[in-house]
Structure 1
Amino acid sequence: MSSTDTNYRKGLFLTGLGGLALTVDIPLIRLADGDAWSILMMRSGTTFAAALVIWAVWRALTPNAPKLIPGWKGLIVAMCYGLGSISFTQAVFATSTANVVFMIALSSMFAALLSWICLGERPAPATLIAMAAMVAGVLVIVQDSLGGGTLYGDLMALCSAVLIASAITISRSSGKDMGFAALVGVFFPFLLTLPMVGSIGYSVAEPWWIILDGAVMMPIAFFCLANGPKYISGPEVAMFYLLETVLAPIWVWLIFTEAPSRNSLIGGSILITALVCHSLWQLTNGRSRRIVQAA
């Protein structure tokens, strides 16, 4: 097996594991039963603390441990993930779970656009068709939000998708390990929430769910997904957010019996169909290119 194929498989494994870990984020946030700022403070604080512990142990075992923030690009990536964490948490509390994850799924399309603009990786016609279908799906979803009080939540989810795509694109352009940069980035929202929680008060009924989320699941998700662009393309990494799109609403429906609205189901079905078809095409096309290069 060639080193190129090995790296590609490694990238798929990392992003697949990260995507699966990410699917439980929203259910754990909901189970904690708290206000948005207190949840964000605990989630960010525990993730940052876990990152420092993991990095310190890794550093003690080997001098080849990745840097916490690899250069100025690492700092930008950290800020993107930090701001994305803020917008994501706001979205979870301001709109439905289905809307949040369907909007986050757009990160793959944003990543393709940014790769085209910033890295010169022109999207194939199939990608452009998938983008058009996904825009149509989003328009269907936000029809419920107009005048319904959840438009803010949908916009926050869209902001999170753009920030995720930006972080993936910058990570791809650097070629460096960005796993710890993604984790350290949550220090920014942690600092922001301290005065907010100090003024309105701390409110988390079941903090252990957030500790599990921040100290275990988020480090796995962020580290794996942030390292994926080192081995596979940005759009391919972003497509693994589709796992959250499909599974998170199922977990929430099973736990909280929160059924998505009709428009969310229609728009989400359009998004998922476009993403699945594009993902299968991308993986098949990428495999064909590697076979030709190896020949």
Structure 2
Amino acid sequence: MLVTIVLWAYSWIVMKQVLAYAGPFDFAALRYLLGAAVLFAALLLSGRSLRPPPLGPTILIGLCQTAAFQGLEQWALLDGGAGHVALLAYTMPFWAVLLAWLMLGDRPTPRHWLGLALAAAGLLCIIEPWHAMGSVPSTTLAITGGVAWAAGTVLTKRLFQRHAPDVLSLTAWQMLVGGVALGLIALVVPQRPIVWNLAFIGGLAYSAVLASAAAWWLWSIVLQRLSTTVASVASLGVPVLSVLLAWLVLHERPSPLELVGIAFVLLGLLAVSGVQLRRR
């Protein structure tokens, strides 16, 4: 989970930067098709079967978790800042908890509700919705992407519970489905021509190999081993780390209220994960 958080936190900066060289759907399609190619190569090298998991659920996961989530977030970045779009995308845990309750019967405990409340308060302090948050379309796209990711998360958990597919195989096949869907969208939506330079190639390589292939595979392992509520709320470490990275790398000093929000999110993560102080 920690490695996933680090990889995804930096990827939001990369996703914003590459829009200077390519359209949102062209980049998203290339990112996930290349990421899928890396995962299928890993399947071959490890001697695993290329047979897909149950196809219907896998297609739904790919359309929600890869195509809809990534396409909508990349589109939102055209008019919105990377930080705010990332924060709005990470309303995902709150949608995921509700969907897991409805679809999986995964009823949150009082400790989970406490953690969600603390995390929600922290997220509000970081986003500061009472200030300008960019265009309404960008905000709507980012939140809708978070809902799509939540649906993909719950569908993935349900597939693990019912069929126990190979994690690497599921990640590869759902990413291929999402990448093909994004490629079809890219063919029909007018976009700027791709500028193939070192900056774009470097951003594409990071996004495809690390932020897509490696991170989504790790995320599937997390979903396999943890409850939907714990995994989803733990992902809130990504926007927190994004704010801190922007402070260290881009010298974007967080406001006092943002620091308070980070503290609340961290308290929420501790509550949900069940970390307790014990006396001997």
Structure-1-length-normalised TM-score? 0.75
Shift of residue 136, structure 1, vs aligned partner: 4.9
2: CA distance between counterparts of 1:44 and 1:271?
36
Using a 3 Å threshold, how does the CA distance of structure 1 residues 233 and 193 change in structure 2: closer, same or farther?
Answer: same
Unpaired runs of at least 5, structure 1:
1-14, 285-295
Contact 1:183 1:223 (8 Å CA) reproduced: no
Q: Match for 2:57: what amino acid?
A: K
Deviations along 1:116-151, one digit per CA (max 9) or x if unpaired, are: 111111111232344445555556622223xx6433
Contact 2:119 2:266 (8 Å CA) reproduced: no
Contact 1:39 1:210 (8 Å CA) reproduced: no
1:118 aligns with 2:103: yes
Shift of residue 114, structure 1, vs aligned partner: 1.1
Shift of residue 197, structure 1, vs aligned partner: 4.3
Aligned to 1:245: 239
Contact 2:116 2:233 (8 Å CA) reproduced: no
1:234 aligns with 2:228: yes
2: CA distance between counterparts of 1:267 and 1:110?
23
1:32 aligns with 2:18: yes
Contact 1:43 1:210 (8 Å CA) reproduced: no
Q: Match for 1:99: what amino acid?
A: H
Contact 2:80 2:135 (8 Å CA) reproduced: yes
1:107 aligns with 2:92: yes
Using a 3 Å threshold, how does the CA distance of structure 1 residues 245 and 46 change in structure 2: closer, same or farther?
Answer: closer
Q: Match for 2:130: what amino acid?
A: Q
Contact 2:25 2:185 (8 Å CA) reproduced: no
Deviations along 1:241-286, one digit per CA (max 9) or x if unpaired, are: 22311222233344444455777x27844762453243333x66xx
- Say which SS state the counterpart of residue 93 (structure 1) adopts: coil
Which 4+ runs in 1 deviate beyond 6 A? none
2: CA distance between counterparts of 1:236 and 1:260?
27
Contact 2:18 2:200 (8 Å CA) reproduced: yes
1:210 aligns with 2:194: no
Q: Match for 1:19: what amino acid?
A: I
Using a 3 Å threshold, how does the CA distance of structure 1 residues 61 and 99 change in structure 2: closer, same or farther?
Answer: closer
Contact 2:114 2:268 (8 Å CA) reproduced: no
Shift of residue 211, structure 1, vs aligned partner: 1.9
Contact 2:16 2:82 (8 Å CA) reproduced: no
Q: Match for 1:183: what amino acid?
A: M
Shift of residue 33, structure 1, vs aligned partner: 5.0
1:159 aligns with 2:137: no
2: CA distance between counterparts of 1:258 and 1:165?
29
Contact 1:83 1:188 (8 Å CA) reproduced: no
Aligned to 2:175: 183
Structure 2 counterparts to residues 1-295 of structure 1, below 5 A: 15-32=1-18, 34=20, 38-56=23-41, 58-59=43-44, 61-65=46-50, 67=52, 70-81=54-65, 82-136=67-121, 141-145=128-132, 149-175=134-160, 176=165, 177=167, 178-184=170-176, 185-197=178-190, 200-202=192-194, 206-217=199-210, 218-259=212-253, 265=258, 268-269=261-262, 272-273=265-266, 275-281=268-274
Contact 1:236 1:279 (8 Å CA) reproduced: yes
Shift of residue 172, structure 1, vs aligned partner: 0.8
1: CA distance between counterparts of 2:245 and 2:50?
35
Contact 2:19 2:78 (8 Å CA) reproduced: no
Contact 1:73 1:170 (8 Å CA) reproduced: yes
Shift of residue 158, structure 1, vs aligned partner: 1.7
Q: Match for 1:143: what amino acid?
A: W
Question: How many residues align structurally?
Answer: 263
- Say which SS state the counterpart of residue 194 (structure 2) adopts: coil
Instruction: Among all aligned residue pairs of Structure 1 and Structure 2, give the percentage whose two residues are the same amino acid.
Output: 15
Unpaired runs of at least 5, structure 2:
none
Q: Match for 1:88: what amino acid?
A: E
